[in-house]
Amino acid sequence: MKQINSKQRAQLRSMANKLNPTIIIGKGGVTDNLIKQVDLELEARELVKGSILKTALLDAKTVCNELAEQLGAHPVQSIGSKFVLYRESKENKQIFL
User: Over the stretch 52-71, which tens digit does the pLDDT of each residue have?
Assistant: 998 888 889 999 999 999 99
Q: Residue 97: which of 19, 1, 11, 18 has the closest Cα?
A: 11
Whether the full predicted model's pTM is greater than 0.75, yes or no, is: yes
Beta carbons of 84 and 76 less than 8 angstroms apart: yes
Using one digit for the tens of pLDDT, what is the confidence trace for 22-40? 999 988 888 899 999 999 9
**Rounded distance between C-alpha atoms, residue 63 and residue 25, angstroms:** 9
Pair 49, 84: CB distance under 8 Å: yes
Residue 74 phi, psi dihedral angles, 5° rounding: -105, 125
Q: Decide if pLDDT at 82 tops 90.
A: yes
Q: Could you tell me if 63 and 25 are in contact, meaning their C-beta atoms sit under 8 angstroms apart?
A: yes
Task: Name the strands in the sheet holding 23-25, side by side, starting at the edge strand that comes first in the sequence.
Answer: 23-25, 47-52, 82-86, 74-79
